[in-house]
């Protein structure tokens, strides 16, 4: 940071502005004749006192993405995930479970539904970590399972993982449904109690 930018920051700082106001008060005192020959000390002292009592500068708080920005980013990541999943070859039972899961996630990511940070976290973890890892692990394990006949089929693990993930996202859908039911009930009660 150059000298000119540091000087400009100080000129705009709270300390300088408060000191300047107090220094102007000192000029006012001088103009009344109360400071006499000591007017430079009065003006300088009041400026220094103002600069000392001014509140310290605070750095700007960092900007974190709001719910809308997080949802937009999550939707973009989900679109990338769907492209990846379309290219992966899966057994029909696992593909059916995966389709059910991604359909539910897509519905939850529609605008206006999910705003709870915990729900966003669960969906983000599912889209960015759990689903791709489950599918990728299946693909890798299936390749190696050719060399170990008789081992537990990797699609069983994939189906179990997808069932757990579907249950997690279903919990979010249930919570949203319950919240809407309560909202509807409250509105009905309000309309009934409001009367004509």
Q: What is the pLDDT of residues 49-88, one digit of tens each?
A: 888 888 777 777 787 777 788 899 999 999 999 999 999 9
pLDDT at residue 56, rounded to an integer: 77
State the total domains in the chain. Answer: 2
What is the band of 1 on the pLDDT scale with cuts at 50, 70, 90? Answer: low
pLDDT at residue 138, rounded to an integer: 93
Give a yes or no: residue 171 inside a domain.
yes
Tell me, yes or no, whether 40 and 72 share the same domain: no
Instruction: Give 132's contacts (C-beta < 8 A, 6+ positions apart).
Output: 81, 84
Give a yes or no: residue 180 inside a domain.
yes
Give a yes or no: residue 36 inside a domain.
yes
* Domain closes at, from 53, 79, 94: 53
Is residue 118 over pLDDT 70?
A: yes
Give a yes or no: residue 60 inside a domain.
no
Give a yes or no: residue 58 inside a domain.
no
pLDDT at residue 101, rounded to an integer: 96
Is residue 105 over pLDDT 80?
A: yes
Tell me, yes or no, whether 78 and 125 share the same domain: yes
Tell me, yes or no, whether 80 and 173 share the same domain: yes
Give a yes or no: residue 178 inside a domain.
yes
Tell me, yes or no, whether 123 and 33 share the same domain: no
Tell me, yes or no, whether 16 and 80 share the same domain: no
Is residue 121 over pLDDT 80?
A: yes
Is residue 151 over pLDDT 80?
A: no
Give a yes or no: residue 26 inside a domain.
yes
**What is the C-alpha to C-alpha distance for residues 138 and 161, in angstroms, rounded to an integer?**
10
Q: Which domain holds residue 133?
A: 67-194
Distance of CA 53 to the CA centre of its chain: 37
What is the band of 19 on the pLDDT scale with cuts at 50, 70, 90? Answer: confident
What pTM value is reported for the model? 0.66
Q: Which of 135, 74, 84, 158 is nearest to 108 (CA)?
A: 74
**How deeply is 174 buried, as exposed, middle or buried, from its count of CB atoms within 10 A (0-12, 13-18, 19+)?**
exposed
């Amino acid at each position: 940071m150059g000298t000119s930018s540091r000087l400009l920051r100080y000129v705009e700082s709270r300390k300088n502005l408060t000191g300047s106001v107090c220094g102007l008060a000192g000029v006012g005192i001088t103009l009344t004749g109360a400071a006499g020959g000591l007017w430079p000390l009065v003006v300088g002292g009041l400026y220094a006192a103002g600069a000392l009592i001014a509140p310290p500068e605070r750095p700007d708080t960092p900007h974190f993405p709001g719910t809308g920005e997080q949802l937009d980013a999550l939707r973009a990541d989900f679109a990338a995930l769907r492209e990846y999943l379309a290219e992966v070859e899966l057994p029909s039972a696992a593909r059916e479970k995966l389709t059910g899961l991604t359909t539910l996630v897509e519905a939850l990511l529609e605008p206006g539904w999910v705003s709870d940070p915990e729900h966003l976290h669960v969906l983000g973890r599912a889209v960015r970590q759990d689903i791709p890892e489950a599918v990728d692990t299946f693909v890798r394990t299936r390749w190696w399972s050719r060399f170990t006949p008789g081992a537990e089929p990797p699609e069983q693990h994939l189906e179990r993982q997808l069932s757990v993930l579907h249950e997690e996202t279903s919990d979010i859908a249930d919570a949203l449904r319950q919240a809407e039911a309560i909202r509807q009930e409250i509105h009905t009660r309000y309309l009934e109690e409001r009367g004509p």
